[in-house]
Structure 1
Amino acid sequence: MTRLSFLASVLAFASSVYAQCGSGSPDAVVDGSVNSFTATKGSQQLYSGSNYRTAIQTALDSISSGQRVSVLASGSIGATTIDISSGKTFEGCGTIDVGYNSGRGAIRAIDQSGVSIPYLKMTGSPYFGLQFSGVSDLTLGQIEMDLSDGLGIRFDRDGAPNSNVEMDSITVTGAGSHAVEIWNIDGLTINEVIAQDVGECGLLIQNTINAQVGLVDGTNVATGVGYATLRFANRNGRYADGSYPDNINVDRVVSRGGGRGIFCVSESGGAVIGAIDLQDNGNNAILIENCYNVNIKSGTVQGGGEVRIAARSEFENTRDISLSLEVNDNTVRESPCGENMTFDITGNAALNIC
């Protein structure tokens, strides 16, 4: 299957899944159109007026844990924030347009548990589209963000840690920063992240352990900057005892153009990547710098920037790296020499390894 037909099939699948949004009997519903929105709970009208955000927040505040709000209407919340509390399900069936609210997500859950967002379509230029910290048992389903700036999904660096986070399909286009930025999660499962025309990372995972990721697919991600389609940073994969057992598992990485394809840095590791398909990355196709126990088991690198093993003096040297790849029209370079390195490189790449 060509990559174009793959993306088309993803979009077709997402459309069919989205048809289920709002189905059954939601506990509260937001409906209407521009300047005329209603929030209802059963037969009770909770809100009627021109403020789309007020209609949504009123509906959310009216339900209890274990109940669901379906936002059928499309509209703009402007530079405001929607807060979701524990145990509630929020369905964005219409398109929610958002503005820039400095330091805040357009939709967020902070120090909550059991929040579910099975569907969401978002446009606009947020500071963060979705913002989380201190969450447990969070579920994100079909999330589509067609942005003109900002950052897509953010788990905060300085907030409380998170646990047991699941994401199905995350598609982000046009973000000025990262599509998905992860901090401080123990127990992360992602089916796929698809990022296109994104200014920084497609998927950035930091200080996280016990993660399982299916596909990371980036097109024109991180052009002209040092970020990557997939980046591990800030002791990602490191256990509390300082060890790096295999615990960050990624099935497949696809990257076309943009900046780096894969980047591991700043004492991260414990990562196993099953297969890669990198082409024409404008910076390093792969950069592994001061990382420990990283295994890329198969795949291809075609052209683009070099495959590089590196290290900075302020951290322990890079060690326990295994690369089994076909690399063409490129260079594989190890400088400085790492420790316990395994290279199984085929293709026409020039090898400059220890």
Structure 2
Amino acid sequence: MFGSFIFTAVLALVASVSAQCGSGTADVTVTGSGTFTVKKGSSTVYTGTDYLAAINSGITNTASGQRLVVSSSGSIGANTITIKSGITFEGCGTINVGYRAAHGAIEILNNSGTKIPYLTLTGAPYFAVRVYGSKDITFGVITMNLTGGIGIRFDRDQAANSNIKMDTVSVTGATSHGIETWNIAGFSINKFTGRNLGECGLLVQATTNAKIGTVDCDNCGAGTGYAALRFANQNGKLNGGYSTNIYVDKLIAKGGGRGLFCVSESGAAEITTVDISGTENNAILIENCYGVNIKGGTVKGGGEVRISARDEFANTKDITVTLKVDDTTVKESPCGTNIKWNISGNAKKTVC
């Protein structure tokens, strides 16, 4: 069932983007190097050396339902590109971005129907991409080779979001999270790849009805309690309960901090398989979470597999863990409620 969802989601995403970045005839184009030209159809609407001005002119001249292709590469400095509702923004060049406190280099705010089939970013932003109050947003192939900041951030304290779809997102070098979600009703991502991230790979919070394909993290959150995949802040809580609505196909975590971390009254999650090895902190930590089912996979070395709880929340309950665990430990403390362990491998087990 999950696999068919991902396949359907991928088909939908593929149908919404070009087979190759910039292919076909766009409504508006940004071309050139050093000197940039913006054309709307056959009309030139901007010529100049300001890369940010060229992109903004392209956006201004692209109407809802139309497609803008930015073929040029350049730097926008510590500024923000704001994407309008309903347009397709296709970034075929590389956009180098700077640091603008509390803002994104790319922002999608109070928006609907925007598509970003391709985007490549470099630099050290505060947020590379910032989203809030938006619905029916589609991201395609997103590549971020950063030296700081957060990759994609859905704001906590702004309006909620719905029906957010991502195909493949790759983030390297961010000093914080690769993707951080808040307040999304309906979220899907085919694949997230994180390399050498300072904190989480994919951090999912206050989000319901999520379909996650593969999370592949190498050295995410080293020296921290963060994880390749983290559920937090009542993630998955739906209509006051924890019926399964968060689905993950595969988690791969090599090194870094934790592999999987579920915390702060989150849950309602089914994870088909994990491949976790060499984490500095817990390979898996499930703490004050409810309704989590890890259906299979392997943990090798690194930190322990742990079920725990803190006093400020209701005790952990309704957890099933089926794993092959080698060269580390499995521990349940304090005892949870309705905890089912199916552990093979050479792990030393201390469970209730």
Q: TM-score, normalised by structure 1?
A: 0.94
Decide whether the 8 Å contact of 1:273 with 1:296 is kept in 2: yes
Amino acid at match of 1:333: K
Decide whether the 8 Å contact of 1:187 with 1:211 is kept in 2: yes
* Distance of 1:92 and 1:102 partners within structure 2: 23
C-alpha spacing 1:255/1:18, structure 2 compared with 1 (3 Å):
farther
Give the 5 Å matches for 1:154-173.
154-173=153-172
Decide whether the 8 Å contact of 2:97 with 2:122 is kept in 1: yes
Shift of 1:239: 1.1
Shift of 1:102: 0.7
Residue among 256, 276, 279 paired with 1:278? 276
1:105 corresponds to 2:104: yes
The gaps in structure 1 that reach 5 residues or longer are 1-16
Amino acid at match of 1:32: G
Give the 5 Å matches for 1:309-320.
309-320=307-318
* Distance of 2:319 and 2:254 partners within structure 1: 24
Shift of 1:218: 0.2
* Distance of 2:98 and 2:48 partners within structure 1: 20
* Distance of 2:19 and 2:264 partners within structure 1: 43
**Corresponding residue number in structure 2 for 1:33:** 33
* Distance of 2:286 and 2:131 partners within structure 1: 28
1:94 corresponds to 2:93: yes
Decide whether the 8 Å contact of 2:18 with 2:117 is kept in 1: no
**Corresponding residue number in structure 1 for 2:341:** 343
* Distance of 1:311 and 1:98 partners within structure 2: 41
Amino acid at match of 2:20: Q
Deviates more, 1:41-50 or 1:93-102: 41-50
Q: Secondary structure at the match of 1:60?
A: helix
* Distance of 1:273 and 1:313 partners within structure 2: 26
* Distance of 1:286 and 1:63 partners within structure 2: 47
Shift of 1:47: 1.1
* Distance of 1:177 and 1:277 partners within structure 2: 23
* Distance of 2:238 and 2:231 partners within structure 1: 14
Identity rate, percent: 57
Deviates more, 1:104-113 or 1:18-27: 18-27
Give the 5 Å matches for 1:239-258.
239-240=238-239, 242-258=240-256
Amino acid at match of 2:26: P
* Distance of 1:101 and 1:92 partners within structure 2: 21
Q: Secondary structure at the match of 2:148?
A: coil
C-alpha spacing 1:18/1:95, structure 2 compared with 1 (3 Å):
farther
**Corresponding residue number in structure 2 for 1:85:** 84
Q: Secondary structure at the match of 1:313?
A: coil
Shift of 1:19: 7.2
- Give a deviation string over 1:298-343, Cα, whole Å, max 9, x none: 0000000000101000000000000000000010000100000000
Runs of 4+, deviation exceeding 4 Å: none
1:323 corresponds to 2:295: no
Shift of 1:30: 0.5
Shift of 1:139: 0.1
Shift of 1:46: 1.2
Amino acid at match of 2:140: G
Decide whether the 8 Å contact of 1:18 with 1:93 is kept in 2: no
Q: Secondary structure at the match of 1:284?
A: coil
Amino acid at match of 1:46: V
**Corresponding residue number in structure 1 for 2:20:** 20
The gaps in structure 2 that reach 5 residues or longer are 1-16
* Distance of 2:77 and 2:209 partners within structure 1: 36
**Corresponding residue number in structure 1 for 2:122:** 123
* Distance of 1:84 and 1:274 partners within structure 2: 36
**Corresponding residue number in structure 2 for 1:153:** 152
**Corresponding residue number in structure 1 for 2:306:** 308
- Give a deviation string over 1:139-159, Cα, whole Å, max 9, x none: 000000000111000111011
Decide whether the 8 Å contact of 2:236 with 2:245 is kept in 1: yes
Decide whether the 8 Å contact of 1:18 with 1:119 is kept in 2: no
Decide whether the 8 Å contact of 2:143 with 2:170 is kept in 1: yes
**Corresponding residue number in structure 2 for 1:229:** 228
1:334 corresponds to 2:341: no
* Distance of 1:188 and 1:153 partners within structure 2: 13
Shift of 1:18: 8.6
Shift of 1:59: 0.6
Shift of 1:45: 1.1
- Give a deviation string over 1:103-131, Cα, whole Å, max 9, x none: 11101110010000000011000111111
* Distance of 2:340 and 2:116 partners within structure 1: 42
**Corresponding residue number in structure 2 for 1:63:** 62
Shift of 1:217: 0.4
Amino acid at match of 2:113: G
Q: Secondary structure at the match of 2:304?
A: strand
Amino acid at match of 2:95: I
Decide whether the 8 Å contact of 1:285 with 1:301 is kept in 2: yes
Q: Secondary structure at the match of 1:21?
A: coil
* Distance of 1:235 and 1:164 partners within structure 2: 19
* Distance of 1:195 and 1:68 partners within structure 2: 29
